[in-house]
A and B are shown apart, each in its own frame.
Chain A
Amino acid sequence: MMINRGRLRWQCRRALLELDLVFKRFLERDFDQLDDQQLVALEELLRLEDHDLWAIVNGSKPSRDGREGAIVALLRAP
């Protein structure tokens, strides 16, 4: 299955500014290096509701699995 990077890039636009800022840094720094497996994990993450996604990104809720955790670690990295 081919995941369109352009679509994922757009879907990093979120309802909450907090997430927009985190994704902005991620898009500039990490996004182009993601492999297909990581893109799948990102796509699943982006399906979350924004409050739930922010809770996982800010660490108040745990990641659901290791693949997601790896993407979240990139999102959190300063």
Chain B
Amino acid sequence: MSVVKRTFDAVIVGAGGAGLRAALQLSEAGMKTAVLTKVFPTRSHTVAAQGGVAASLGNSTEDNWHWHMYDTVKGSDWLGDQDAIEFMCRKANEVVVELEHYGMPFDRTDNGKIYQRPFGGHSQNYGQSPVSRSCAAADRTGHAMLHALYQRNVRANTQFFVEWMALDLIRDGDGNVLGVTALEMETGEVCIFHCKATIFATGGAGRIYHSSTNAFINTGDGVGMAARAGIPLEDMEFWQFHPTGVAGAGVLITEGVRGEGGILRNGSGERFMERYAPNLKDLASRDVVSRAMTTEINEGRGCGPDKDYVLLDITHLAPETIMKRLPGIHEIAMQFAGVDPIKEPIPVVPTCHYQMGGIPTNYKGQVVVPKDGNPNTPVVGFYAAGECACASVHGANRLGTNSLLDLLVFGKSAGETVVEDFTSGNLSLRPLPADAADVSLARLARLESQTNGESVFDVGLEMRRTMQKHAGVFRFDALLKEGVARIKDVAERAKTTEIKDKSKVWNTARIEALELDNLIEVARATIVSAEARKESRGAHVRDDAPDTAEFPNGRNDGEWLKHTLWYSDGDRLDYKPVNLKPMNDDTKPIVLAKRTY
């Protein structure tokens, strides 16, 4: 197959919030910038973000970045790097005001300032009382943000390659990154994008789980590409789950349903939350509810033929209340669970929502790897931002509204670093190796010639089910160990998947096979890292690491206050220290403490 080569100053993979924010920085600085994206930019998954973006503007209640930093470090269960967190919280006002100037239609106060509302985990005065820190545009914050950024990029002449899928990262013999190979869906042609700087902004990989709130495009393409190219993945054991996704579908049932009186019941109809949280019952915090649900299912008290879900019951509420206070829930239950919630309870399971780990970066957006004794050596020419990256600001658990902030701050920061490196002459167009496209071409040729293989769907389903059962929201040593073996087996099977449709153009089956390669890397990273971490921290909660006096919340700082690094080659694990030191000498570190709310 002939391979066309295109040359740019920079290529950005992904056109969600992080990719668009980074692209803007480059294009406005006059760099020749290509953005590759599987779907039209304003159809990226950032659209689904509703909650808002955190910034300590103090428009509604007194606020400052120190308090935001404290909340974020505590939320991360102290696994977040304090230099990156300080950077993000200090930059928040700047990136939000910038967005306002780009035309983002934020909700307003009566006197015209950006309206701010409270959000879980955000506080005033180091945890004392709730604060209004979230800036939103009705319930379409992510959507409005993407539109503002996209329009601005069009103005800045960013060149978009829409309906292109990046395939593999290109590195030279010294490990420098020289660009990517990519497939144009309309023609089926493979092309090399040769450039001085490559930024990954490909989002998360929530589709590794059977129950996931993520759209189908969230297949961790950048994370998978990085792993295949020898870049380690950081803290991949940490995934945020929501307790109530519709079983089998993943669509979220908002917490408001339990707020209005919804009750969780097990297979025998018992209101089981009374046993786990006698006071708050069904309104206990997300992690408590998720763990209780998992325990019921694992101990055989689930519902349905496979006893693999529990029920969310609102049949005791007046139909008018349901239709008035919970609009949308009726439709979601009818569409995705096939039940009328006025008459029947809704099947629900804890559902994967957000990937805290990813491609390791520093706060400048540079991808960093261990080299010559320095655990954070930048990889020349390689940058990452947003959910695919691990800066690490979310650590073991992300606070709501910090994800939109993450993609704005680190999208911009990665862009600024590239522009600095570009203008100072630190970046050059390094020669392409002769075999630059060989890995990608071999992957495509394998799919072309494969016979007697399993379907991509079947192998993908096995991966999703295994991850859900063995590395879900509540983790058990024996299940994790068995899960590692199973995922390794699934990974082997993924090497011989077969697609029946061999057509060249608009071949969705081929795209899905290539996406599965990326998901498999993420699934392996997740379960191997989770099995190895023998403590509970943030979203990683093990049954054999309970809350004790010696290890509050099951957290073991003596042994496990460190970042995991997983290498695809041989499933090798390495670790690096958490940065407990803020960026500036005069910023006080947030000292280790038990995470309680």
Contacts and interface: CB of A to CB of B under 8 A. Distances in A.
Contacts of B336: 18, 21
A18 B47 CA distance: 12
Interface in B45-99: 45-48
Contacts of A22: 335
A14 B338 contact: no
Interface in B311-355: 327-328, 331-332, 335-336, 338
Given A4-B506, A18-B251, A49-B143, A13 B338 contact: no
Contact of A14 (B43, B213, B327, B511): B43
A16 B47 CA distance: 7
A9 B249 contact: no
A14 B143 contact: no
Interface string A21-49: 11010000000000000000000000001
A14 B216 CA distance: 8
Contacts of B503: 6
A44 B143 CA distance: 20
Nearest to A58: B331
A51 B215 CA distance: 13
A15 interface: yes
Contacts of A6: 503, 505-508
B338 to A, nearest CB: 6
Q: For the side of the interface on A, what is the size category? A: 20 to 34
A42 to B, nearest CB: 15
Nearest to B336: A21
Contact of B140 (A11, A13, A17, A51): A51
A50 interface: yes
A49 B48 CA distance: 12
A66 B518 CA distance: 41
B186 A7 contact: yes
A58 B214 CA distance: 19
Contact of B338 (A7, A11, A78): A78
A15 B45 contact: yes
Contacts of B250: 17
Contacts of A24: 216
Contacts of B145: none
A21 B249 contact: yes
B448 interface: no
Q: Main secondary structure on chain B at its contact with chain A?
A: loop
Contacts of B163: 10
Contacts of B332: 18
A20 B216 contact: yes
A16 B48 contact: yes
A62 interface: no
B43 A21 contact: no
B131 interface: no
A27 to B, nearest CB: 9
B39 interface: yes
Most buried by A among B163, B335, B338, B511: B335
Contacts of B506: 4-7, 9-10
B282 to A, nearest CB: 24
Contact of A50 (B47, B214, B249, B327): B47
Given A17-B48, A18-B251, A49-B143, A9 B508 contact: yes
B44 A15 contact: yes
A49 B38 CA distance: 16
B565 interface: no
Contacts of A16: 47-48, 215
B530 to A, nearest CB: 24
Nearest to A18: B251
A23 B261 CA distance: 32
Nearest to B332: A18
A62 B18 CA distance: 34
Given A9-B508, A10-B185, A78-B338, A17 B47 contact: no
B39 A13 contact: yes
Interface in B202-254: 212-217, 249-251
A55 to B, nearest CB: 10
A49 B214 contact: no
A36 B264 CA distance: 47
Nearest to A75: B335
B42 interface: yes
Interface in B364-391: none
Contacts of A10: 163, 185, 506, 508, 511
B462 to A, nearest CB: 18
A13 B506 CA distance: 13
Contacts of B251: 17-18, 21
A78 B340 CA distance: 13
Nearest to B39: A13
Interface in B391-438: none
B416 to A, nearest CB: 27
Contacts of A5: 506
Contacts of B212: 17
A21 B338 CA distance: 13
B325 to A, nearest CB: 15
Contacts of B46: 15
B345 to A, nearest CB: 18
Contacts of B213: 17
A70 B506 CA distance: 26
Pairs of residues from A and B, 4 with the lowest C-beta to C-beta distance, nearest first: A6-B506, A15-B47, A20-B216, A15-B43
Given A9-B506, A10-B508, 9 more contacts: A10-B163, A10-B506, A13-B217, A14-B43, A17-B48, A18-B336, A21-B249, A49-B42, A58-B335
30 contacts: A6-B503, A6-B505, A6-B506, A6-B507, A7-B186, A10-B163, A10-B506, A10-B508, A13-B215, A13-B216, A14-B43, A15-B46, A15-B48, A15-B215, A16-B215, A17-B214, A17-B215, A17-B216, A17-B249, A17-B250, A17-B251, A18-B332, A19-B215, A20-B216, A21-B335, A21-B336, A22-B335, A51-B140, A60-B327, A78-B338
Interface of A: 4-7, 9-11, 13-22, 24, 49-51, 58-60, 76, 78
